[in-house]
Every structure is written in C-alpha cells, then in structure tokens.
Structure 1
Amino acid sequence: MWNERYSAPDYVYGTEPNAFLAQQASRLQGPVLSLAEGEGRNAVHLAHLGLDVLGVDSSDVGLAKAQRLAGERGVRIATQVTDLAEFMPQAGHYGAVVSIFAHLPSRLRQRLYPLVEQALKPGGLLVLEAYTPRQIARGTGGPKDVDMLLDADLLRRAFPGLEPLLLQETERDVTEGRLHTGVASVVQFVGRKPG
C-alpha cells in the first residue's frame, strides 16, 4: 500500500517538516532514529539542523524520494527499508527517536515501543505525534482503525520508562501535503529517558 501511495510524482505529505517536530527539534541530539519516515520531510529537516538521521520505513519508493529530497536540499540522511514488525534498533544508541504519524496496530506497538525505549541513550528524547480516536470523525487524515490510534493514557502506559516532558491531546490545523489537511485531533508526546 505504501509503495503505491508514494509512487505519486508529488510528495503526498509535502516536503516541509511536521510542525510539532519542528517546534521540538532544537531539543534533539543525534543520532536520530525516525520511524516510518516515508518521503523524507522530517529526516531532511533534522539533517538540515546538523543532526545525523536514520529514517526507516517499509517503503523503498518512499525512501528513494527521501534521498532525492535530501539531495535537493543539500543534506545527507541514512535510510533503511525495514518492516517495523521486525525492526531491531540498536540499544542505547540514539539521542532521539521521532515517531510522526507512525500509526501501527497495537500488537506491533507492544513489541516496538519497549525497543524504542531501549534504543535511547540516557537523557535521550522520544518525540511523537499521532492521531487520537476522535480523529476518525474528522476525515482530515489518518487511519480509520481505532486500534491504530493513540491517546495520552495509552502513551503513558506504553512508555513507562520515559519521563513525560510534554504529553497532551489537542486539536490543531495540520497542513501536510494533500493527505493531511484540516483541523485534526492529535496527541503529542515528548518523553525523556532518565540519565
């Protein structure tokens, strides 16, 4: 499905970074792991700020576009085609992990999220934004399966080893390409691994 979606000539989620990530980017230290990076907009932004970034995604088509965008912007990013159901991030390696609209089934999150905690260095940050179940009624983007959507209570339980620096559900205007456009119900999380 993702290869088909990313095969469009345009960047379906745009080429500018996610607004929440852009707000938090000055807090991040590398290396950065970006989950479900897609067409590269977030990895390229972070690389432009001088961070070493690895973007992982199941779509080789999306990551090829990510590399093209990086070249056009004059930065370098690393990319890896991987199924997040099998991905094993390096433990204790990352200064930050970024998860922007990386909506996964709960059974996959239960495997991946503890590995994300382990992948962070002491003091490292997780920056996550996702749609909440209230988003389904909006029709402005995101999956229609409530099992793939997140809220603050779920994230608090899913990342017990991270100190929440910010954890909120909010509504905001999301304008990211043609597939994320309009007022959206989101959850935003910045969690720090204790140092």
Structure 2
Amino acid sequence: MWNQRYANDDYIYGTEPNSFLAEHADMLSNPILSLAEGEGRNAVFLASLGFSVLGIDGSEVGLAKALKLAQAKGVDIQTEVADLGLFEPPAHHYGSVISISAHLPSTIRNRLYPLVEQCLKPNGIILLEAYSENQITRDTGGPKDLDMLMTCAKVEREFPNCEPILMRELEREVLEGKYHTGMASVVQFIARKSA
C-alpha cells in the first residue's frame, strides 16, 4: 500500500518537517533513528540541523524519494528498508528516536517499543506524535483503526522505562500534504530514558 501511495512525483505529506518535531528538535542528540520515515521530510530537516539520521521505512519507494529530497536540500541521510514488525535496532546506540505518525498495530508496538527503549543511550530522548483515538471520527488524517491510534495512557504504558518530559493530547491544525490536513486530535510525547 505505501509503495503505491508514494508512487507519484508529489511529496504526499509535504517536504516541511512535522511542526512538533521542529519545535523540539533542540532536545535531540546524535545519532537519531526515525521510525516510519516515509518520504524523508523529517530526516532531511534534522540533517539540515547537523544531526546524523537513519530513516527506517517499509517502503523502498518512499525512501528513494527521501534520498532524492536530501540530495535536493544538500544534506546526507541514511535509510533502511525494514518491516517495523521485524526491525531490531542495535542496543544503546541512539541518542534519540523519533516517531512521527508511525501508526502501528499494538502487536507490533508491543514487540518494537521495548527494543526502541533498549536502543537508546542512557538519557536518550524519544519524541513521538501520533493521531489520538479521538481522531477516528475525523477525515483529516490517520488510520480508521482504534488499535493503531494512541492515547496518553497507551504511550506511557508502552514506554515504561522512559520518564515523560511532555505528554499531552490536544487538538491542533495539521498541514502536512494532502493526507494530513485540517484540525486533528494528536498525542504528543517526549521522554528521557532512565540512566
């Protein structure tokens, strides 16, 4: 599905970074792992700030566009095509992990998120924004499956070894290409891995 969605010249979620990520990028540290990076807008933005970024995604079409965007912007990013249901990041390697609109079923999250915690260095940062369960009735983005949508309680439960710095559910206008546009309900989470 994602190869098909990305298979046109347009950047369907735009080329500008997620605004929550951009607002808090100064909290991140190298190297950075970006889950479900897609067409590269967030990885390219972080690389433009001098970060070393690995973007993981299941779509080789999306990541090819990510590399093309990086080249156009004059920055370097690393990419890896991987199924997040099988992906195993190296332990204690990353300064930060970002998850922007990486809507995964709980069966995958329950396997992946403990590995995400393990892959962070001590005091590493996780930054996540996802559509909340309250988004289910809206047509402004996100999956139509409650299991793939988030709540603050889900996020806190799924990252038990990270101390929340910011955790909130809010309504905000999202302007990210044609698939994420309009008022939306999102969960935003920043946490630090216990030392």
TM interval, short-chain normalised: over 0.9
Tell me the CA shift for residue 175 of structure 1.
Answer: 0.2
User: Residue in 2 aligned with 1:150?
Assistant: 150
User: Residue in 1 aligned with 2:74?
Assistant: 74
Partner amino acid, structure 1, of 2:66: A
Partner amino acid, structure 2, of 1:129: E
Partner amino acid, structure 1, of 2:13: Y
Partner amino acid, structure 1, of 2:69: L
Tell me the CA shift for residue 74 of structure 1.
Answer: 0.3
User: Residue in 2 aligned with 1:132?
Assistant: 132
| Separation in 2, partners of 1:50, 1:88 | 25
Q: Where do 1:14-25 residues align within 5 Å?
A: 14-25=14-25
User: Residue in 1 aligned with 2:30?
Assistant: 30
SS at match of 1:97: strand
Partner amino acid, structure 1, of 2:93: H
Tell me the CA shift for residue 13 of structure 1.
Answer: 0.1
Q: How high is the TM-score relative to the length of structure 2?
A: 0.99
Partner amino acid, structure 1, of 2:68: R
Deviations for 1:55-90, whole angstroms, at most 9, x for unmatched residues?
000000000000000000000000000000100001
Tell me the CA shift for residue 170 of structure 1.
Answer: 0.4
Indicate yes or no: 2:57 matched with 1:40: no
Tell me the CA shift for residue 138 of structure 1.
Answer: 1.3
User: Residue in 1 aligned with 2:115?
Assistant: 115
Quote the RMSD (CA, aligned, Å).
Answer: 0.5
User: Residue in 1 aligned with 2:60?
Assistant: 60
Partner amino acid, structure 1, of 2:11: Y
Aligned residues: 195
SS at match of 2:65: helix
Q: Where does structure 1 differ by over 6 angstroms across 4 or more consecutive aligned residues?
A: none
Q: Where do 1:68-107 residues align within 5 Å?
A: 68-107=68-107
User: Residue in 1 aligned with 2:163?
Assistant: 163
SS at match of 2:160: coil
Q: How high is the TM-score relative to the length of structure 1?
A: 0.99
| Separation in 2, partners of 1:49, 1:90 | 24
Gaps of 5+ in 1: none
Deviations for 1:13-35, whole angstroms, at most 9, x for unmatched residues?
00000000001101110100000
| Separation in 2, partners of 1:56, 1:167 | 24
Deviations for 1:148-180, whole angstroms, at most 9, x for unmatched residues?
000000111111100000000000000001110
Identity in percent: 62
Partner amino acid, structure 1, of 2:172: R
User: Residue in 2 aligned with 1:191?
Assistant: 191
SS at match of 1:47: helix
